[in-house]
């Protein structure tokens, strides 16, 4: 007779109580999956949305560009960097871009804003949210050297329509003001007014020429990854690759978009705290059940000790009962969570009625449909956390069972 | 030849604290039990029989005096050593059987052997032989709630003797069974004592048990009243 089998049978002696306790563990799994999977989905969505707004999951740039983003700081051979990056596994795209500040003027008015100079031959909607959200016209083509794409809000402010002229003024690599003329080829609407009123897409070659850049120069190469969680690893690989160059640095999305990273970190912290508190409540329930079970069986423990069972074996027996309770709870948790998880993965809950479709946080648009996505490590983490809490909850009852002397136990019952 | 008594109690007292009161369960009690004895501690309720069995069985500690088993002073042993001693050298038979309800008769009987880490096949073989000895082989796979009181006590006896202990301590083993079953159980124990030399020490106030004992140790108010050895 193994202790594990004995523990299982003991647990099944009071089936109703064990199943009710296991259900509370299962409910803990449901709550934990809900918190974690909604977080995994929302954070991934925010990170990926943020990436396609310009900087990618990783950005290769001049080391001083982040702190003082003037246009004299550039990658002289950005195209070579791009080609090298594309050879790395896990990279789905690498795009050469120039990003900076400019003054935009039409015949009616002028406003300040940001520009992203792109190569239309390489950009795709998958890596560029502005191309994905075009509401009028289209992106300028490779041969169209004076096309510009503006946000709907800016078009409204400057009274722009398709084909209208837009003058943009910026500081070149030598610190001189330079101006160029473009014509509106497309208008986008992301839903975020600050973005729609402040961002303009410009042709890369035109901006290079205006800034006095070399033909392969750019301010950054935006890198897109299959999985944003690989950013740190790939950053390490790339940093090693260019360890000798003082002109190149690689930033992860956490470094280049510190506001977003901070927002996610704080939200995650509250999420974990909430889960911990829920876990504590459930653990208290498990402890209560096991304590009752131990108190009811004191005489039984006394008999086992009289027969030669070591105090440590008694402790182990109660801990094993708790292990079984944890396993049973996890299994029930999977059963009750699966339909909810599948619904939330496929359909989700639409909160657009409550928060609208243009809600943004950390400079990133938030998807109003709450959905689930659970990474394998998150699922493993939940399983271990639930199991760990179940064991922790059993420690006091187990030691109580093992601490008493046989004769004390035998006097009970 | 080793003449050390199997059990020695030297001027043993056991005092329990009950609130502010001190209650002496056993007072200045001395006893020696030799190998192969079939002895009975007898006396009315509260005379200290169970306390003495608990002290000999290393379940309780004396307030004064010494308890020695095979010459070893139990006070010198730690909790784990005492557990090992109970596992390897002492068998217990309790008044209300106290079989583990989640284990079958066979698993109950092999419990001590499992604690001794004896391989499964070997312990199964030994347990089946002992269950056959006590007439329970046919019911080996039944759980306690599927057995009568007498059958449960037989399994309890099997559990007590399967590890071949130096002594079996039986606390009122016939108290909860009918006369016929009590007689059968006593016969079984007598046979084990006679054929296998198992030492038994009972506590009882059942005249049927006393009638079969080779030695009657009479207790009153926690003290030795009379030690009567029969032929």
Q: pLDDT, tens digit, for every residue of B136-146? A: 999 999 999 99
B70-83 average pLDDT score? 93
DSSP at A366: P
Quick: pLDDT tens for A3-15. Answer: 889 999 998 988 9
Contact of B188 with B134, CB cutoff 8 Å: yes
Q: pLDDT tens across B117-127, in order?
A: 999 999 999 99
Q: What pLDDT is stored for residue A362 in this prediction?
A: 67
In a domain, B76, yes or no: no
Positions in chain A short of pLDDT 70: 1, 362-363, 412-413
A with B: how many residue pairs have Cβ under 8 Å apart?
68
For residues B132 and A107, give the distance between their C-alpha atoms in angstroms, rounded to a whole number: 109
Q: A-contacting residues of B 75-94, CB under 8 Å? A: 79-80, 83-84, 86-88, 92, 94
DSSP states of chain B as a string? -----SEEEEEEEEEEEETTEEEEEEEEEEEEE-TT-EEEEE-STTSSHHHHHHHHTTSS--SEEEEEETTEEGGGS-HHHHHHHHHHHEEEE-TT----TTS-HHHHHTHHHHHTT--HHHHHHHHHHHHHHTT-GGGTT--GGGS-HHHHHHHHHHHHHTT--SEEEEESTTTTS-HHHHHHHHHHHHHHHHHH--EEEEEE--HHHHHH-SEEEEEETTEEEEEEE--
B26 located within any domain? no
Report how far residue A153's alpha carbon sits from residue B53's, in angstroms, rounded to the nearest whole number.
93
Nearest CA in chain B to A9: B102
Is residue B152 included in any domain, yes or no? yes
CB contact under 8 A, A407 and B103: no
B72 touches chain A (CB under 8 A): no
Question: Is pLDDT at B73 greater than 80 in this prediction?
Answer: yes
Decide if B31 is inside a domain.
Answer: no
> For residue B231, is pLDDT > 70?
no
Q: Is residue B145 part of a domain?
A: yes
Tell me how far apart the alpha carbons of residues B78 and A303 are, in angstroms, rounded to a whole number.
19
Looking at beta carbons, which residues of chain B come within 8 Å of A2?
A: 114
Instruction: Provide the chain B residues 3-62 that lie in CB contact (below 8 A) with chain A.
Output: 54, 57, 59-60
From residue A176, how far is each of A171, A172, A200, A389 by CA, in Å? 5, 5, 21, 64
Residue B61, domain member (yes or no): no
Alpha carbon of A305: minimum distance to chain B alpha carbons (Å): 7
Answer whether B115 sits within 8 Å of A309, measured CB to CB. Answer: yes
pLDDT (average), residues B95-115: 91
Give the model's pLDDT for residue A65.
Answer: 86
Q: Is B197 left (phi over 0), alpha (psi -120 to 50) or beta?
A: left
Number of structural domains found in chain B? 1
Per the prediction, chain B carries an average pLDDT of 90
Q: Is residue B9 one of the residues assigned to a domain?
A: no
Return the bridge partners of A95, or none. A222
Task: Tell me if A283 sits within 8 A of A383, measured CB to CB.
Answer: no
Q: Looking at residue B208, which CATH number applies to its domain?
A: 3.40.50.300
What's the CA dihedral at B140, B141, B146, B150 to 10 degrees? 10
Domain membership of residue B65 (yes or no) is: no
With tokens 């506590």, the residue in question is B203
Taking the C-alpha atoms of residue B84 and residue B81, their distance in angstroms, rounded to an integer, is 5
Which pLDDT band, with edges at 50, 70 and 90, does B1 fall under? very low
Structural domain containing residue B91 = 37-48+82-229
- Which of A299, A310, A410 shows the shortest C-beta gap to B83? A310
């Amino acid at each position: 007779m193994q202790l594990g089998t004995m523990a299982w049978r003991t647990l099944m002696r009071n089936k109703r109580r064990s199943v009710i306790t296991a259900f509370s563990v299962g409910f803990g799994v449901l709550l934990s999956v809900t918190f974690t999977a909604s977080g995994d989905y929302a954070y991934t969505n925010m990170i990926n949305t943020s990436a396609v707004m310009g900087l990618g999951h990783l950005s290769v740039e001049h080391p001083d560009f982040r702190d003082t983003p003037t246009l004299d700081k550039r990658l002289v051979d950005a195209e070579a960097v791009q080609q090298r990056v594309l050879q790395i596994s896990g990279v789905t795209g690498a795009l050469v871009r120039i990003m900076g500040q400019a003054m935009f003027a039409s015949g009616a008015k002028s406003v300040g804003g940001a520009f992203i100079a792109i190569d239309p031959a390489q950009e795709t909607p998958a890596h560029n949210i502005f191309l994905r959200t075009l509401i009028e016209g289209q992106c300028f083509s490779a041969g169209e050297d004076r096309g510009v794409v503006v946000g709907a809000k800016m078009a409204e402010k400057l009274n722009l329509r398709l084909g209208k002229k837009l003058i943009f003024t910026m500081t070149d690599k030598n610190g001189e003001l330079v101006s160029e003329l473009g014509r509106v080829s497309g208008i986008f609407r992301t839903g975020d007014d600050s973005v729609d009123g402040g961002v303009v897409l410009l042709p890369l070659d035109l901006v290079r020429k205006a800034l006095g850049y070399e033909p392969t120069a750019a301010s950054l190469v935006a890198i897109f990854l299959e999985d944003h969680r690989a950013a740190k690893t790939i950053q390490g690989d790339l940093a090693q690759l260019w360890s000798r160059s003082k002109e190149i640095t690689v930033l992860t999305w956490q470094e280049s978009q510190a506001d977003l990273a901070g927002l996610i970190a704080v939200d995650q912290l509250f999420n974990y705290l909430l889960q911990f508190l829920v876990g504590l409540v459930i653990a208290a329930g498990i402890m209560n059940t096991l304590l009752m079970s131990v108190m009811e069986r004191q005489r039984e423990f006394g008999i086992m000790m009289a027969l030669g069972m070591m105090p440590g074996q008694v402790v182990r027996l109660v801990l094993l009962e708790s292990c079984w309770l944890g396993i049973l709870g996890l299994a029930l948790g999977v059963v009750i969570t699966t339909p909810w998880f599948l619904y939330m993965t496929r359909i989700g809950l639409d909160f657009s009625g409550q928060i609208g479709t243009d809600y943004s946080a950390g400079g990133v648009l938030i998807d109003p449909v709450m959905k689930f996505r659970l990474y394998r490590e998150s699922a493993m983490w939940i399983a271990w956390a639930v199991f760990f809490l179940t064991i922790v909850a059993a420690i006091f009852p187990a030691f109580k069972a093992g601490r008493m002397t046989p004769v004390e136990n035998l006097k009970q019952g | 030849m080793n003449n050390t008594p199997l059990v020695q109690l030297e001027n043993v007292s056991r005092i329990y604290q009950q609130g502010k009161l001190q209650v002496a369960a056993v007072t200045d009690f001395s006893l020696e039990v030799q190998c192969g004895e079939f002895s009975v501690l007898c006396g009315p309720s509260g005379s200290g029989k169970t306390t003495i069995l608990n002290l000999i069985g290393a379940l309780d500690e004396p307030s004064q005096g010494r308890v020695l088993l095979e010459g070893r002073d139990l006070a010198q042993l730690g909790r784990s050593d005492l557990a090992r001693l109970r596992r390897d050298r002492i068998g217990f038979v309790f008044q209300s059987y106290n079989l583990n309800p989640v284990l079958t008769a066979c698993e109950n009987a092999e419990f001590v052997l499992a604690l001794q880490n004896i391989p499964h096949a070997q312990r199964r073989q030994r347990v089946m032989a002992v269950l056959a000895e006590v007439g329970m082989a046919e019911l080996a796979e039944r759980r306690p709630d599927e057995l009568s009181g007498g059958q449960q006590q037989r399994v309890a006896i099997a559990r007590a003797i399967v590890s071949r202990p130096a002594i079996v301590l039986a606390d009122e083993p016939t108290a909860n069974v009918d006369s016929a079953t009590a007689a059968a159980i006593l016969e079984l124990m007598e046979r084990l004592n006679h054929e296998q030399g198992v030492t038994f020490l009972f506590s009882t106030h059942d005249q049927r048990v006393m009638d079969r004992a080779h030695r009657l140790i009479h207790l009153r108010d926690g003290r030795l009243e009379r030690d009567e050895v029969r032929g």
